[in-house]
Chain A
Amino acid sequence: DVVMTQSPLSLPVTLGQPASISCRSSQSLVYSDGNTYLNWFQQRPGQSPRRLIYKVSNRDSGVPDRFSGSGSGTDFTLKISRVEAEDVGVYYCMQATHWPYSFGQGTKLEIK
């Protein structure tokens, strides 16, 4: 099974400052069709998860452009260029290349 490892698990950030979350997989996430099915989700307090990024770097509709995803193979990153108060929550990476699908442990972003 593919293990997804996020770091850091806790991320205190000052408003207006950048933030970065790393996600590493135990195997390459490149699928036989050439796509890499690595996704990022945000879960605000008391809410359901919401997808932010799919296939490494594709931003979902309505997601602010301060969020960006990058990476390849086994090493991926979610970046927030300038953190806003509404970004508080837990962020998860998830791979959908290999069965069983798997999520990272989650990174809790808080305002310093």
Chain B
Amino acid sequence: EVQLVESGGGLVKPGGSLRLSCAASGFTFSNYGMNWVRQAPGKGLEWVSSISSGSSYIYYADSVKGRFTISRDNAKNSLYLQMNSLRAEDTAVYYCVRDYENFDLWGRGTLVPVSS
């Protein structure tokens, strides 16, 4: 089955760090660019970061630039998001999204509450 499964979410204090993972299966992961998109509780969708298939191209939203780092391990079919200096406004469900003709496959998301 073609799917993306996020993990690593959980309660973290402001200023803390967290590393999200996304396990891909059912397709050739190394052929696709990948993305992270987040959704704050009751709010809309916000693009966070993108990485090309070979990690040559990486982009970030201004809201996370300098604090978040996207990476991937094609040998492990995995995507990552290292989140540092977390703020209350980073509280959201984080989705892993495949990029075939733009955002064709979404995971179920992992919740990251940032609170003291």
Contact = CB atoms under 8 A, between A and B. Distances in A.
A39 interface: yes
Interface string A84-112: 00000010101010011111111000000
Interface in A37-79: 37, 39, 41, 43, 48-51, 54-55, 58, 60
Nearest to A102: B47
27 contacts: A37-B102, A39-B102, A41-B103, A49-B37, A49-B45, A49-B95, A51-B102, A51-B104, A51-B106, A54-B104, A55-B101, A60-B104, A90-B44, A94-B45, A94-B103, A96-B103, A100-B47, A100-B60, A100-B61, A100-B62, A101-B50, A102-B47, A103-B44, A103-B47, A104-B44, A105-B44, A106-B44
Interface of B: 37, 44-47, 50, 59-62, 95, 101-104, 106-109
